[in-house]
Every structure is written in structure tokens, then in C-alpha cells.
Structure 1
């Protein structure tokens, strides 16, 4: 029978009908041409995304290698190495005020499976972390958008994160584990919140949010302030405005509060089981007279994190990319304001006046706004706002702001005026060229004190002591063939910071050399070493470093510095009690 249209049949009419491709699989299992084309399109898209991520990884790896590995990063690599070889709880280790135990240390251990104990692990991990940040930020920005709207949101995120501030910015987002990686699990938590109905265990998604937030806080106390606290504030505000204490926001409020309790319990459990200890955060409230300067520092540091701190940019291309990044930063600021306004315009029943934001508005945008404002406020009010180098303390405002701007403005790019779209295209080209130029021009740098490491290995000097910045990094740079335990001054003492108590046991180790950092006297001086250990049998200078070689074990009778306390030996240091994540910031 011939096809019909409005009851009329015939060859003439059939010729005027448009051809509609068939999208189903034929009975014989053969796909139609349209279905095959769609499948090829998806494969091409996936391939293009994978290729793009590979290019980004290689580019960021080159930028990461341009910053020399130091003892902080090396300590993390050594901790991961111990975990990989059975010491899962890091018994005897005293870490810094940030453990990274449930985040970067696991990442380091996985990378060390392939690279071994090698300083390349630090660079691979930092590049991978930043790439994960882009991926999770893109997914969080996408939300429930599809098609071109989804790609527009992703484009905003990638553009915002693509080109870090050269050199100084690399040292923040592509260096040793720091607060940059903390944003990864937090973005994962926001993904669970945003897609709770699509998760396999729909009824258990609040537990997933609680666990992810708790693990983030175990790794970094800052996660409480930029994760649990903002989620609790937003959830409570939405519940109050909705005049109910039930539903999704009630579950999220419980998850946020429960995550703090669980994080504390996990740290206490590790400590009671004989695992690692951590120091209290060093931040304190700043005097009121310094708040004005801190506001200026916060502005400069935020611009620095966004790659928009123009005073340090050199060359036309870098300056052009900085101006584009500055425009993106202003877009984030506008998104912050728009989110706050929209929240207060939402009626108590959860719908905006025009009905465009049912359910209380964009919950994720509200959480990101709260997290950004809390992070900046705590930074300004604390002693952490020292100079532009303290930008790492508020680095989370970069991925959070990128996601926020994408969710608020990304969809509008599709309806923007042609002139605006052309400007956006030019800006995108500038960022891509700047990324390619920066990554190509980044010159790999050897780790700090690498000359000392090479000398020690070549002369079969296997165990010794070293000023903190010339200790763990030498161990890592020598691939573990020369081990250097960190010490601090002014007189030479064992250092309970990023170190293992076993390293200072004179019955297990024979330390025959001392590496002195001539740049930082607070970690010990040559004169103090001579007064304490006698005249060395050899001395070798390597620029910033002085290597003193002795004919006796320097660990015998070595005094200890146990945080703010001194002790006769390292074994006499009192144990550190488990710390509540973030508690030190409230002292």
C-alpha cells in the first residue's frame, strides 16, 4: 500500500514528501545509514575529547616540570612509597597540617606503581590533578544540559582553566600537593548532589556525599570550610525559606554535618591504630588593622589564580591571554552577584517570581557561591593572607568560579549577538595559542639540591641529615639510594614535620653527613654544625648547599624539635593528638 497524507495517495504527492531517515535497527540486525552516521559522530566526538585531554595532559606536564621539586612534594612521594609497600597507616610518620592521605597520597602511590620512587612522580601527579580538575569542573558545569548548551558550559570551564599564570601560577596549580587537588573530591560531591536521581543507588546518595566530603577533610582541613560549611549554610537557608525541614536539603544538611564528625573519627581511628599524626593548621585570626591590606592581597591572589595578574605577564601574547582571563574573572564575579540576587528573589515556596527557577534555584550554583565567599572571607580574616605567594590558600575559587560562570552564563552564549560570539571566538584562539606557547616554552628544571644527590650516590654516601629543604628531595632525587632525614636549627635537631620517627633511630641508621641550606639559617648553619658535631672530615659546596662529611654517627644523642617543644631525642617527643579538621583556624 502506498503511503498517505491527509487521505490522498499517489506518486506525485509521494515525490513531494521529505525523506525522513530511519533511526532503528532493521530486523536483520543491520543499522541504517543514519544510525551508522550517528554512531560515527559519537565515536569522532569521543575521540576528539580524548585527544584534547591528552594534549592538555602533555602541556600541563611540561609546565609542571618547569618548577623544581622540593622537599614538601618529595615527602609526599616518600609517604606514598611507604603506603605502597605495606605501611598503609604511615606508622611513625608526622605529616604537616595537611595530610593528603585520602587524596594525593593515593594518587602518588598509583603513579609510583609505574614510575617507582622517582621525582617524575611529582610532575605527573600535579599535571594529572589539574586535568582531573578540568574534567570534574566540566561535568559539574554541564549539569542536566544537553547538546549545544552542554558544550557551551564546558567551553566556559575549559577557557577559564586553560592558561594558568606563567611560572608563579604553575607553582600554585601545577606543583606539590596543596589545596588545588582538594577541589577534585568536592566537585565530585557536587556531582552526586546534582545528579542524585541518576545515581545507581538513588536512596544512598546522601551517604555518598557525606563520605566524599569526609575523605576530603581527612586529606585537607580546608575542605571543611569550602565544602561542608557552604553546603550546610545553603541547605539550611533553603530549608528556612521553604519553611520545611524535610527533603533533599535536609539530607544535605545532615550529610554536611555528618562529614565533619566522620572526618574527625577517621583521623582519630588512624591515630589510635598507631598511624600518622598531623599538626594543627597554622592560621589564626588577623588583627583588624591588617584587614584592608588583606583585601588587596585577596584581589591580587584571585587574579593570580585566574591567570589575570597583569603586572607579572611578559609579552603581547601573555598579556592578551591575561586580559581574556581577566574578562572571565569578571564573568565569575558577575555570576556570584547574579546567584545571590536570584536566591533572595526566590519565593518561600521555592520558585522565583517569574517561575524560571523552581525548587529554590540552582543549588550547585548557590553552594559554589557560598564556598567562594567563605574561602575569600576566611582568607582575608586570617593570617594566611601574606603576599601573592599565598594564592594557594584560595585556589579553589578558580574551579568553583569556572563552574559557577558556566552554569549561570554558559547557555546564554548560544543566543548572544554575532559580535559577542566573534569576540568569544577570538578570545578562545588567544587562549589556545597562549597554552601552546607556554607549554612549548616551559623548560624542565631539576629538583632542588640535585647536585648534592648526584655526589652522594657517586661517593657511596647512603645516609645522613639535611636542612629541611635539602632532605626529602635528595632522597627522592637519588631514587632512594641516598637517604637524608630532615633537621631544623638553629642548633641541629631532628624535625617532626614530614618525617618518620624511625629515621632518627641511631640503632638502625648510621648518619655520616649533613647537608646545610646556606640560604635559610633557621634550618641550621655550618657554624652550629661544627659546634655540635665537630669539624667535618670533608666539606663540599654546591651553590646554596654545603655538604659536611663526618666519621661518626650524627644520630647519636641528636636532640629533637617536636613542634613548639624541644626534647632530648626524637623518641622523647610527646605524641600528637588527633586533630579536628580546620579546628586550628578557630583558635
Structure 2
């Protein structure tokens, strides 16, 4: 068998194995409503509702990547929790594959890049931010591919058009591509023109393509809305007050530590190992970034864009209101592949022995972390007892808080539908975030129960809005209030967002 064919087969087998391992790692995380809603969106997408008519998504749509992957998972495994984990594993695999694709000399540098991408999965807090569902990590694929276009298709006449299309589609999917990715591409091209001290045609046309991608994305989104596609909540793009920046700096530092696997508080030998691994990864990233800056003329585009994007993403997060949320590292996940690209450049080429030792240590560290993550027990389904009891009571349609609603629906394989509502102080409104408005039509659906959980809506609030229930059941940590009429007749619709 020819060597190139054998190599491609080995790479294909490695990708399949990696997808299986990452899906198993995703299985260690409980099914959350965010990931469950993505599967429900994918289910509709796969069954003909490609535009997701009637859906109100969050301030990020994930329409161009994660929802099609979720559609594949829903077709393969149905609307189940297994599909949530498969989607998370496949998206993570795609991110890893695109990151390694950006590294031409495969085996030597892949080891360090894989360490940054996979070692954090040994930490429970990092797994929650990276692979518990669907978030900004997958959006890095658009920027990675854009980098490859700038590097490898520079002489092609279609390169700028491909860059424009790719960025526009990515921006429709996630604002991270707009606010971080587009700025990084423009910064890379401007810096490169200054470094080369010439005004060649290549970089100006890429700058023009990146700039034009922003109005192009808005036009594409407008056309989708005109065709009846999903609605979206408008993203919060307000810069936080200067008085909050120091607190946000601490939150940003914590988020970075979470992504690298040493964010949680603890003690003992396990904690020391996490600190050692996390600081080792951080040192590799800083060294790789420093070497990229020092050897800018001989560095490649993936490392150049990474050295611009990582600080840019951290700065954008620090100045935004997102960093006000304690323990939130989801919005930083998209920069992890670029941290991996920088880490791959850390060992100087002239240190042959030391470089080999570093890569051997990184390989052993990565293998140990993956084995540890895969060996973790699968997460128990908190609502399994609830679902079994609802089935026994022949209750198949109800309402609840957001955190319980769609996760229960998906955990039941769509047999028990629970829809999200929100307490408004005197009654309940449709929860206008990751939801579908036809679910709340009293003409087509009959909701006869309300599920409360600790920390959410109380039974007293439910009774004040809907009256005394016909029956009440205590099931594990849940209270189920059953009524003799359709609760949807007293749920107020939410205003349709214009985003």
C-alpha cells in the first residue's frame, strides 16, 4: 500500500478513535438544558425545518456548525441524551482536527498541541466548560479555516471570496467570529504588510474580505429572517464600567485557569498534579507566543494569528459584561485551539534533546489525562426517577424552569415533554431563550403538570399563578404539581426578539 494512502488511513482511524474517546468523556457530564435544546433544534433541522421556524435562540445561534452536527446526532441516536454527548464529542473532534491541520510538520508539534487541547479534560470544571454541551469552542473552526486560506491559498484568485464567505457564515453562527476572529485576521494582514514593508495585493484583499464579511453576515441573517428563520436574542455588547475592570481581570484569570485545567479549588496530591499540569501548559503557551513574536518573519500564519487572537479574546472578555458571571469560562473556550498552536512553537528548534524530552513529557501527560478522563464514571441522570414516575402517572406534557425543562425532555427520549417558563412576579411567561413558540400553543398542546426543583420556582409561586393542584407528588428533589386543566392557557407569551 502506498505510503500516502497508508498515512491517510491512519489519520482517518485516529480521528474516529479520538471522536469515540471524546464522546466517552462527554458522557461523564450531565445533560444540561443548553445542550438538550441544541439537540431539539437539530431534531427539527433534520426533519425538514432547516430554517428552525418558530425557534427563539440565544444571543448565539450556532446555526452553521453545531446545529448541523446535532442534526446528524439526532438522526443517528434520536432526541436523546446520548445525542447530546455525541454532538459534543464530534464538535470537539472537529476542533482538534482543524488545529492539527494548521500544523504542517505533523508528529513533532502535534504532541504539544494535543496536550493543550486534551489535558484539561482530566479536570471536572474544565470538562463542564469545554465538553458538557455546545458552546463557543466549535466556532474556532471558522477562524482556523480562515487562517489556512490566508496561508495556503494566497495565490488563488478565489481566496478572498472564500475568506469572505467563511467568515460571514461563521459570524451568523457566533459573534465570537466577528468580535475576535475578524479583528485577528485584519490585524494579522496589517502587521504582515508592515513587516514585509510592501503593499502587495494579497493582504489588502484579505483585509477587504474580512471587513466586508461583517455587513455580509448581517445581510445573510436578514435574508434568513425574511424567509421565516429563527429569531435571536440580541447579544450584550456593552463595555463594562471601568470600576469593574479589576474584578473582571480576576474573573478572566480564573477563566483562563479553568480552560487549562487548574481552576478549581482543592488540596492534596490530585490538586498538586492539576496545578503542575496547568502551569506547564501555560508556560508552553507563553513561550510559544514569545517565540512567535521574536521570530515573526519566519513564523507561519496560524501562529501569527494565534499570538494576536489569544490576547484579543482575553481583552474582549475582560471588558465585556460576560466576565461579571462568576465561574463562567464558556466564552473563552474558542481561544483554546489557538493556545494549542502557540504551545506547539514553544521548544526552540536548536534544542534537539530538550525538545524531544518536552514532547515525550507532553505525550505522556496527554495520554494519562485522556485515560483518566475516559475512566470517569458516566454522569447519572438526575431526572431518571422523575421521568419514570411521570410515565407511570401517564403525564407527558408539562412546564418547568429552564434548567429542568429540556434536559428532562431529552433524557426521556422525547416521551415526556417539559417546556420552560419563567416567573414574572405574578405569573409565568414563555421563556424566550432557546425555546420554540409552537410548544406553548394551548390549541395543540395540553400541559397538565409543573415541575419545581431546588433553587428554582417554589410550589407556592406555582399555586399563586395556577391555583391549588389536583395532586402533588414529591419525587427525589422535585415537586410535581398536577392540574386538571391546561396550564398553557395561563402562560403569557414572550415578546419575539428582533436579533
What is the TM-score when the length of structure 1 is the normalising length?
Answer: 0.79
Deviations 1:39-78 (A, max 9, x none): 3x55654454444434433332222111111111111111
Q: CA deviation at 1:409?
A: 3.7
The CA distance in 1 between the partners of 2:220 and 2:267, in whole Å, is 44
Matched, 1:550 2:483: yes
SS at match of 2:18: helix
**How many residues in Structure 1 have an aligned counterpart in Structure 2?**
496
The CA distance in 1 between the partners of 2:24 and 2:481, in whole Å, is 35
- Retained in 2: the 8 A contact 1:516–1:547? yes
Matched, 1:338 2:291: yes
Q: CA deviation at 1:386?
A: 3.3
Matched, 1:375 2:317: no
SS at match of 1:164: helix
Q: CA deviation at 1:448?
A: 4.5
- Of residues 89, 95, 104, the one that matches 2:66 is 104
Which residue does the alignment assign to 1:174? 131
- Counting only pairs closer than 5 Å after superposition, residues 454-493 of structure 1 correspond to structure 2 as 454-489=388-423, 490=425, 491-493=427-429
- Retained in 1: the 8 A contact 2:125–2:264? no
The CA distance in 2 between the partners of 1:189 and 1:528, in whole Å, is 51
Q: CA deviation at 1:170?
A: 0.7
Deviations 1:269-292 (A, max 9, x none): 111222111111235322222222
Matched, 1:272 2:248: no
Q: CA deviation at 1:390?
A: 1.4
Matched, 1:389 2:338: no
Gap regions ≥5 residues in structure 2: none
More displaced stretch, 468-477 vs 428-437: 428-437
- Retained in 1: the 8 A contact 2:116–2:340? yes
The CA distance in 2 between the partners of 1:419 and 1:554, in whole Å, is 68
Which residue does the alignment assign to 2:432? 496
More displaced stretch, 179-188 vs 47-56: 47-56
Deviations 1:433-456 (A, max 9, x none): 23212211x111244433322222
SS at match of 1:108: helix
- Of residues 539, 557, 573, the one that matches 2:472 is 539
The CA distance in 2 between the partners of 1:310 and 1:327, in whole Å, is 16
Matched, 1:432 2:367: yes
Which residue does the alignment assign to 1:329? 282
The CA distance in 2 between the partners of 1:94 and 1:195, in whole Å, is 39
Which residue does the alignment assign to 2:300? 362
Cα RMSD of the aligned pairs, angstroms, is 2.4
In terms of fraction of residues, the more helix-rich structure is 2
Gap regions ≥5 residues in structure 1: 1-35, 344-351, 563-572, 580-587
Q: CA deviation at 1:322?
A: 4.6
- Retained in 1: the 8 A contact 2:147–2:185? no
Which residue does the alignment assign to 1:151? 107
The CA distance in 2 between the partners of 1:47 and 1:463, in whole Å, is 48
Q: Report the CA distance shift for 1:311/1:536 in structure 2 as closer, same or farther (over 3 A).
A: closer
The CA distance in 1 between the partners of 2:421 and 2:264, in whole Å, is 39
Deviations 1:491-516 (A, max 9, x none): 32221111111111111111111112
Which residue does the alignment assign to 1:188? 145
- Retained in 2: the 8 A contact 1:504–1:555? yes
Which residue does the alignment assign to 1:19? none
- Retained in 2: the 8 A contact 1:448–1:473? no
The CA distance in 2 between the partners of 1:387 and 1:60, in whole Å, is 27
